[in-house]
Amino acid sequence: MKKLFRILMTALLVTLPLAGHAEEKEAFDSGSIIIGHVTDAHSWHMFDYRSKDGAEHAVAIPLPVILVNDGHLDVFMSSRFHHGHADYKGYRLIGGGVEKEEIVCVDADGNLTGTKPLDLSITKTSAAIMIAVILLLVIVFIARAGYKKRPNQAPKGLQSLVEMLVVFVRDSIAKPMIGEGRYQRYLPYLLTLFFFIFFCNILGLIPFFPAGANITGNIAVTATLAVITFLITNISGNKHYWVDIFNTPGVPAWLKIFPLMPVVELVGVFTKPVVLMIRLFANMTAGHIVILGFIVIIFILSNLFGAAVGGAVSVVSVFFSVFISLLECLVAYIQAFVFTMLTALYIGMAVAEPHHAE
């Protein structure tokens, strides 16, 4: 209890000057700050600071901008835009915060032309995925090296954690959902899926570089994972799987003549990956928004009632932020488990043999 009190008091002392800083501003756009932290961007924002002249400066890691416009390829760093305050090579960075950040074309006079280039840039989410994959490969190769150094011995350290998760996915997800004798073919994909989602979820909870990006809270990422699951499921589907869709057993004949059930079953084929996509995206984004919501309450109340009130509220806000962060650690694991389990279930339904054949 004493340690918790010390943590909260330290957070109070830290947030008091921040609250006072927020009070000096004419307006505090909480929505822009929250949405800006959970959406994608062309640079990796670190923090802001004020110079001696009172001007506010943003510190960010620039990322490569790759644009294709009228058959021309333009490659440069996002720092050329000076955080959206300058045009470069006929391009302008607009949006950010509540509005979607995007690059548009401008003419020599700085007027919008109404066209947009094909944007193939390495954004914050793309860079975070690369970092996550590299770190995940390092962890896996460290575990692999442990097996080579200590063959036929009990695992130690990081090797124990990796083996525990691998065995869990194999014995608690792949085997029960797909079936003995068939799961081996899909186990590599299920392991990749589980480790990638779980690792990205955990990295998203760490609020500093190279973590902090909301990877699985990006609808494009979850949609890609769902599409891969959709393709594997339906390409692997056997004759029994497709017959059950278009000639559902146990259904009255008139429903088969009037194709109600085949339509319902066919729609279900496409809604399954949509459910996977939305569930992971919504749960991870909601967690980040709730944590940020508790934080910005401090600055909102500081603007309205002064730094003293904001500092007093910061004790409660930080407490709930820590609680939600701990809960998000559990959610990070649950969402990885649920996505992998449902993927295995869909694959298992597609490759299952009819009971009479067993």
Q: Render the burial of 203-220: b for 16+ CB within 10 Å, e for the rest.
A: bbbeeeebbbbbbbbbbe
| Residue ending a domain, choose from 90, 122, 154 | 122
Domain count, the chain: 2
Q: Does the pLDDT at position 21 exceed 70?
A: no
Stretch 81-100: mean pLDDT: 86
β-pairing verdict for 99-105 and 91-96: antiparallel
Q: Does the pLDDT at position 12 exceed 50?
A: no
Interatomic CA distance for residues 202 and 206, integer angstroms: 7
Q: Assign residue 212 a region: left if phi > 0, alpha if psi is -120 to 50, beta otherwise?
A: left
β-pairing verdict for 91-96 and 118-119: unpaired
Stretch 159-184: mean pLDDT: 91
Q: How many CB atoms neighbour CB 65 within 10 A?
A: 26
Same-domain check for residues 145 and 220 = yes
Same-domain check for residues 135 and 260 = yes
**Residue range(s) defining the domain that contains residue 225:** 125-357
| Residue ending a domain, choose from 122, 146, 165 | 122
pLDDT given at position 257:
66
Same-domain check for residues 56 and 161 = no
pLDDT given at position 28:
64
Say which residues have a Cβ less than 8 Å from residue 56's Cβ, sequence separation at least 6. 48, 49, 50
Same-domain check for residues 101 and 142 = no
pLDDT given at position 270:
92
pLDDT given at position 262:
77
Q: Does the pLDDT at position 5 exceed 60?
A: no
pLDDT given at position 198:
94
Q: Does the pLDDT at position 334 exceed 60?
A: yes
Q: Does the pLDDT at position 2 exceed 80?
A: no
Q: Does the pLDDT at position 320 exceed 50?
A: yes
Interatomic CA distance for residues 328 and 296, integer angstroms: 18
Per-residue pLDDT tens digits for 99-134: 888 999 998 888 888 889 999 999 999 999 999 999
Out of 84-93, 114-123, 335-344, the most confident range is 335-344
User: Which CA distances in Å does 212 have to 11, 197, 200, 218, 358?
Assistant: 20, 14, 10, 13, 49
| Residue ending a domain, choose from 122, 137, 164 | 122
- 3 state DSSP class of 128: helix
Same-domain check for residues 145 and 108 = no
Stretch 55-59: mean pLDDT: 76
Q: Are 130 and 115 in contact (CB under 8 A)?
A: no
Per-residue pLDDT tens digits for 270-304: 999 999 999 999 999 988 888 888 888 888 888 88
pLDDT given at position 134:
94
